[in-house]
Amino acid sequence: MSPIAIGLIIFSAMMHAGWNLMGKRHAPSLSFFTLSMSAGALAFTPFVFSLLWQLPAMPATFWWLLLGTGLAQAVYMAGLAWAYARADVSLIYPMARALPVVMVPCISWLLLDNRVLTAADWLGMMVIVLGSLILPLPRLSALHWRSYATPALGFMLLAALGTCGYSLIDSAALRVLRQHGLSAFEAGSLYLTLQAYSSVLWMLPVCLLGQQERPTLRGLLQRQQMKVWASTGIAILLTYWLILIAMSYVTDVSYVVALRQLSIPLGVLAGIVWLKETPTAPRLLGVTVIVIGLLLVALG
């Protein structure tokens, strides 16, 4: 990996952890992420404006995929927001980030007959699950089903399922864009902007109709709040955009995947230092085990 790629990926990992902390600290709600995604989509539109002329040539399949990924992204944002409203970032963030690494290949293996998982992949995924089971425990000796039967972890699973949904859909949609002559970077840049618009299309009605979300939405439209969610939205899209750039500087994308996991310990550390969350022994051990599992999957 070149120094440029390493720098871009580390900065992207820091930014990913950062926008999650902003959502937790300021207004953990679907309204916050809806406004953020709106701002991010608007900010990125000028960068992809020259590519928009190719959209009329896209088949109906692409538009259905775009609608589907927007729904999955909305589910992810809703689960994340409502989990953060009930629990610490240092608990929710590593699990929501890591579990899709297990869930996506398992779904592909079971439903799509994609049987490319190696022994190292299976070992890494089992280690991730082990770390995720350790993480929510109040103490290491308190292994009980009640430790997992919480609304926060339920919403975290919803976020993980949303991640699975858009991960599986996005690969198919990006293939369509590539088949129409766009480079990998052009396809990724255009797609992440369109995906943001699609997710807002799904999230906004919930914010306008929800009894808890509607007053939050009004409060966030105050001028002093706008800078927070606007900068968060730009960070959300910029996080992946930097990864797209970094991929052009590496010969093996598995190194990109592995280094991106730096965001997990960074997010936990920031939650403890910045938000004053309690660094319990199970939480620190669980995060360490999860990162080991992720590295096994990424480099296996």
At 252 the pLDDT is 65
Q: How many domains does the chain fold into?
A: 1
Pick out the chain residues at pLDDT < 50.
none
Q: φ and ψ at 135, to 5 degrees?
A: -55, -45
At 147 the pLDDT is 72
Q: For the chain, give the number of residues.
A: 300
Provide the b/e sequence for 250-281 (b: ≥16 CB within 10 Å): beeeebbbbbbbbbbbbbbebbbeeeebeebe
Provide the domain limits for residue 143: 3-299
In this predicted model, what pLDDT tens digit does every residue of 269-287 receive, in sequence order? 999 999 999 889 999 999 9
At 112 the pLDDT is 61
Residues 242/13, Cβ–Cβ less than 8 Å: no
What is the rounded distance in angstroms from the CA atom of residue 8 to the CA atom of residue 126?
Answer: 30
What is the rounded distance in angstroms from the CA atom of residue 243 to the CA atom of residue 249?
Answer: 10
The upper half-sphere exposure of residue 33, i.e. CA atoms within 13 Å in the direction of its Cβ, equals 28
At 5 the pLDDT is 85
Predicted model pTM:
0.90
SS3 state of residue 250? coil
Instruction: Please enumerate in sequence order all residues whose Cβ is within 8 A of that of 75, keeping only pairs 6 or more positions apart, or say none.
Output: 158, 159, 161, 162, 165
At 114 the pLDDT is 58
Instruction: Please enumerate in sequence order all residues whose Cβ is within 8 A of that of 298, keeping only pairs 6 or more positions apart, or say none.
Output: 124, 254, 255, 257, 258, 261
Give alpha helix (H) positions in 221-252.
Answer: 223-247
Question: Exposed, middle or buried: residue 222 (CB in 10 Å: 0-12, 13-18, 19+)?
Answer: exposed
Q: CB 83: neighbour CB atoms within 10 A?
A: 29
